[in-house]
Structure 1
Amino acid sequence: MKIYDTLTQKKKTFPSADRKNEKNIGMYVCGPTVYDVGHLGHARAAVSFDIIRRYLGYKGFAVTFVSNVTDVEDKMIKRAKEEGITEAELAERIIPEYEKDYGALRVLPPDHRPRATEYILEMVALIERLMEKDVAYATEDGVYFEVQKFKDYGKLSHQKLSELKAGARVTVDERKKNPEDFALWKKAKKGEPTWDGPRGMHGRPGWHIECSAMSMDLLGETFDIHGGGIDLVFPHHEDEIAQSEMATGKPFARFWLHNGHVKVNKEKMSKSLGNFFTIKDILKKYHPLVVRYFLLSTHYRMPIDFSDALLEQAKNSLDRLHNFMRRLSASTASDGPLVIKDRLAQAESLFNVAMDDDFEISKALAAIFDLINEMNALMDESKLSKKDFSEIQNVLQQFDTVLAVLNSHDSEVSVESDAAEIERLIQERAAARDARNFARADEIRDELQKRGILLEDTSAGTLWKKDFTGSHTPERGNL
């Protein structure tokens, strides 16, 4: 298995050779600053790393997945002041909204969701280690990391320190030794949250030290995967590496993974352009599974363009998947031998080979749709047995442990459990129409539509399919 590492700029064998127990994987992904509800960029990162996490589980790895919550930071303080509440009250309101939105997108909850404010002691201890090693220093307004003492600074963003100095737009602060030095601890200011800090300095942590302290406390001083959006490479992840490796003398993360930017109709998403969307905005218009499929269907490292046309393509692809599963459940076949064993094994191999190559999702999806096309043709000719149907379902369900777009839950329609009830209602509707009781026929149609089922009357009878337009989207929660 090969995974692209931002640090080395190449695909590397995973897990790395130095692993003592290669089946236990530690994975840390930078989470949101919870001053406002999540937006499309948060959804992209969440789904991208959810697919990676799920595939590692599919491959037999035991993944300990950590994703933090930043609940003390400049934006948190500013928003709390604007609303006349505390930062803690703001966090308590916003965090459940992220959980609901991520749940609707079928993102698995992390094994650990540490809040920055819960790890102040660990942050202070880490800062004091850096001060003892003389790579951090105190000033009138806080404690800073002295960047030039870390010789490898810039290795993640592939920039030399001299280049960073030349290109930096850093406000000159006479209290710092160097303009590029970054804050580990900020001295207390009136109206801001404060804790006992290093060397007795009251204040609050800097952003970068938070992730280093939380990740190393939960996963160890060196762990397998550190992930986040491409915008976090510099300075956040660069600074994490510097402070962590100077404190421990060990490599921080073995692999650095970053998901690509999000654009809207080929433009950068921004409030000033009027194309900024929260996850809630998107889920009002599109079904959560359509959004998930759209987000996962582009390779995680590539930029993704959000548009109605591309969402419609995602909806059509999802329709094909669900309609095939419905056809499998509704079809009848005779007893007989398993005739497609080799073809199913080939599909599994193609899926695995694609995902083993830095999670090449487009090739993995192509393997699935090629299989579906061939199976539909065989079903048209009545060449499949009950055993074939069962094995096809088993293979697709295995793929769905990674994709999480097939099985429906809660108030969404479950093909397996509800197909018989839907068929019964269709027959009742047909009988009502034959009896010219059109009011009852329309009532049944409307009832099914509310449940996310669309009916299509054809010369061969009435067909049904799931509606992924989003108009019937259920109340969202952890699915």
Structure 2
Amino acid sequence: MLKIYNTASRSLEEFKPLKDGKVGMYVCGVTVYDFCHIGHARSAVAFDIIYRYLKFKGYDVVFVKNFTDVDDKIIKRANQEGVSCDEIASRYIKEYYEDMEKLSIERPTVEPKATEHIKEIIELVKKLIDKGYAYEVDGDVYYSVEKFKDYGKLSHKNIEELKSGARVEINDKKRNPLDFALWKKSKENEPAWDSPWGKGRPGWHIECSAMSMKYLGESFDIHGGGEDLIFPHHENEIAQSEAATGKEFARYWIHNGFVRINKEKMSKSLGNFFTIRDVLKQFNGETLRYFLLLTHYRSPIDFSFEGLTAAKEALNRYYNLIQRIENAPFDKNTEEDKELESSIDTLLDRFENAMDNDFNAPKAIGEVFATVKLFNQYLDSVEKSNKPALKRYKDAFLDAMDKISKVLGVFGTSSAKWFIPEDIDVEWVESKIKERASARKRKDYKTADAIRDELAEKGIILEDAKDYTRWKVKK
């Protein structure tokens, strides 16, 4: 039974979708004005495994993740460079996809852009005005927070305390300092669209309400994003959406934790961030994804290159086992190991139990490595006894890991690809190993050692077993 931590109730709840076998999920995407940083990667990976796991559970999932392609930051960047907002947005959407591909992020079902949904946004704003929840002042339209009696129910904030808070923006046009913009009157050098209130552009919050309801309906199952979006963004989405429809907006609210540097949230505004590209200059995408999975999605991650190195070493251990399995002799009728057999037979169940508990990827990964450890011990024992390993262990383990890798997005690379850089000539290495094997057979150990040294200079490590030689590249 899948249980999800719901931010709205602050509790773990059994997942019951609105329609049997179907899930509608909306996640707030990036504002496309610059390269993505590790905080964006964290959110992308968190919701990617949720998407993948829901499909693993047999649900038909419609996953909607938007692009915010009209925003103050985009306008500022466009004006600085003397280009259009469309050009800035298109450039960084392309860069976003390049980063996501390297992290093995699956494409959502729908990826709407705010600028392509102006009609839906205007209709929603009109409905809120008609119902008395919004008002227009000199071309700007604001949402009246006091009209929505449940304001603060997601973030558990008290409206009176918020009203007296010093951080609220002062704006003479607003009836209440907490009121937020649904439509903004256009200024010079800003993109603008015709509306009943004059030329302008949408506010940030209304974009997500309009897009999510277009593709998922007025009520849907899951709404997600980073925990920094709980207030005010998601709180405002609830207020405007439920005021417009009179229905519950989203049933489950899921939020991922921050990435931190020196205990502070990583963000562009603080200047303490690494882009995904910065990290991928030193580590591959699978290593970065694995590092991000090692912390539960709701907990903060303390980012460090030492942590990435440890993640890479863990993946080395996994792929070393896969390489051993690929090279070791296996037979149908040979020694059994009941502990390993039990571990392999229950691996998928243990994986699912972990993931059913609020998508606990770190626990799921721990279950994988518990089996990896036993399999390595088993191969050590059969090598010492000069007997082949049991073939059904290999088949069952690889079958389970194929299913697990499709959820986690790691453990799915071939061992050859993991250990062998593109600049290594595999055929040359294999020919040298055969040449060395012939030299050893005729007891020409001087030649055999020379070949080993030649390969070592290229970073090739040889591991001799009884009837074969494994090789890998030093990492």
Q: TM-score, normalised by structure 2?
A: 0.89
Task: Output one character per residue of 1:67-101: Cα deviation in whole Å (capped at 9) or x when no partner.
Answer: 10000010000000001100001111110110010
Does 2:64 align with 1:57? no
Per the alignment, in what secondary structure is the counterpart of residue 183 of structure 2? strand
- Counterpart-to-counterpart distance in 2, 1:48 and 1:214: 21
Of 181-190 and 318-327, deviating more is 318-327
- Counterpart-to-counterpart distance in 1, 2:473 and 2:247: 52
In the other structure, the counterpart of 2:370 is: 370
Per the alignment, in what secondary structure is the counterpart of residue 110 of structure 2? coil
- Counterpart-to-counterpart distance in 1, 2:366 and 2:448: 46
- Counterpart-to-counterpart distance in 2, 1:443 and 1:121: 67
Distance 1:422 1:342, change over 3 A: farther
- Counterpart-to-counterpart distance in 2, 1:376 and 1:31: 42
Could you tell me whether the CA contact under 8 Å between 1:265 and 1:307 is conserved in 2? no
Does 2:312 align with 1:305? no
TM-aligned CA deviation for residue 443 of structure 1? 7.8
In the other structure, the counterpart of 1:379 is: 379
TM-aligned CA deviation for residue 271 of structure 1? 5.6
Of 431-440 and 332-341, deviating more is 431-440
TM-aligned CA deviation for residue 62 of structure 1? 1.4
Task: Output one character per residue of 1:131-175: Cα deviation in whole Å (capped at 9) or x when no partner.
Answer: 110100000140000000011101111111111112242232221
- Counterpart-to-counterpart distance in 2, 1:52 and 1:270: 24
1:403 counterpart (400, 405, 408): 408
In the other structure, the counterpart of 1:392 is: 397
Describe how 1:445-464 pairs up with structure 2 within 5 A: 455-457=460-462, 463-464=470-471
Could you tell me whether the CA contact under 8 Å between 1:142 and 1:187 is conserved in 2? yes
- Counterpart-to-counterpart distance in 2, 1:271 and 1:90: 17
In the other structure, the counterpart of 1:473 is: none
Describe how 1:113-262 pairs up with structure 2 within 5 A: 113-197=111-195, 199-262=196-259
Does 2:99 align with 1:94? no
In the other structure, the counterpart of 1:9 is: 10
Distance 1:422 1:250, change over 3 A: farther
Task: Output one character per residue of 1:286-345: Cα deviation in whole Å (capped at 9) or x when no partner.
Answer: 111110000011100000011122112111111111111111111111222887654323
2:275 counterpart (278, 283, 301): 278
Distance 1:274 1:81, change over 3 A: closer
Does 2:424 align with 1:427? no
Could you tell me whether the CA contact under 8 Å between 1:432 and 1:441 is conserved in 2? no
- Counterpart-to-counterpart distance in 2, 1:426 and 1:413: 21
In the other structure, the counterpart of 1:472 is: none
Does 2:263 align with 1:266? yes
Q: Extract structure 1 runs of 4+ deviating beyond 3 A.
A: 265-268, 270-275, 337-343, 411-415, 418-423, 428-446, 457-467
- Counterpart-to-counterpart distance in 2, 1:43 and 1:312: 18
In the other structure, the counterpart of 1:359 is: 359
Distance 1:429 1:241, change over 3 A: farther
- Counterpart-to-counterpart distance in 1, 2:117 and 2:270: 38
Percent identity (aligned): 47
Could you tell me whether the CA contact under 8 Å between 1:425 and 1:444 is conserved in 2? no
In the other structure, the counterpart of 1:68 is: 66
Of 253-262 and 343-352, deviating more is 343-352
Distance 1:56 1:4, change over 3 A: same
Distance 1:39 1:420, change over 3 A: closer
Could you tell me whether the CA contact under 8 Å between 1:24 and 1:62 is conserved in 2? yes
TM-aligned CA deviation for residue 430 of structure 1? 3.5
- Counterpart-to-counterpart distance in 2, 1:361 and 1:220: 30
What letter matches 2:8 in structure 1? L
- Counterpart-to-counterpart distance in 2, 1:412 and 1:457: 17
What letter matches 1:264 in structure 2? I
Could you tell me whether the CA contact under 8 Å between 2:182 and 2:206 is conserved in 1? yes
- Counterpart-to-counterpart distance in 2, 1:47 and 1:7: 22
What letter matches 2:217 in structure 1? G
Task: Output one character per residue of 1:352-384: Cα deviation in whole Å (capped at 9) or x when no partner.
Answer: 111111112222111111111112222222274
Of 321-330 and 107-116, deviating more is 321-330
TM-aligned CA deviation for residue 407 of structure 1? 2.1
- Counterpart-to-counterpart distance in 2, 1:431 and 1:229: 56
What letter matches 1:140 in structure 2? D
Could you tell me whether the CA contact under 8 Å between 1:328 and 1:393 is conserved in 2? no
Per the alignment, in what secondary structure is the counterpart of residue 464 of structure 1? strand
- Counterpart-to-counterpart distance in 2, 1:353 and 1:408: 24
- Counterpart-to-counterpart distance in 1, 2:425 and 2:96: 32
Of 345-354 and 59-68, deviating more is 345-354
TM-aligned CA deviation for residue 419 of structure 1? 13
- Counterpart-to-counterpart distance in 1, 2:273 and 2:398: 39
Per the alignment, in what secondary structure is the counterpart of residue 375 of structure 1? helix
TM-aligned CA deviation for residue 408 of structure 1? 2.5
What letter matches 2:273 in structure 1? F
Describe how 1:287-306 pairs up with structure 2 within 5 A: 287-306=284-303
- Counterpart-to-counterpart distance in 2, 1:272 and 1:194: 26
Distance 1:78 1:324, change over 3 A: same
Count residues with an aligned counterpart: 456
- Counterpart-to-counterpart distance in 1, 2:65 and 2:214: 13
Could you tell me whether the CA contact under 8 Å between 1:123 and 1:210 is conserved in 2? yes
- Counterpart-to-counterpart distance in 2, 1:426 and 1:393: 29
TM-aligned CA deviation for residue 22 of structure 1? 2.2
What letter matches 1:63 in structure 2? V
Task: Output one character per residue of 1:387-419: Cα deviation in whole Å (capped at 9) or x when no partner.
Answer: 22111110111111111212238x94599xx99
- Counterpart-to-counterpart distance in 2, 1:11 and 1:39: 30
- Counterpart-to-counterpart distance in 2, 1:190 and 1:379: 71
- Counterpart-to-counterpart distance in 2, 1:221 and 1:276: 37
Could you tell me whether the CA contact under 8 Å between 2:293 and 2:362 is conserved in 1? no
- Counterpart-to-counterpart distance in 1, 2:378 and 2:400: 17
- Counterpart-to-counterpart distance in 1, 2:265 and 2:62: 33
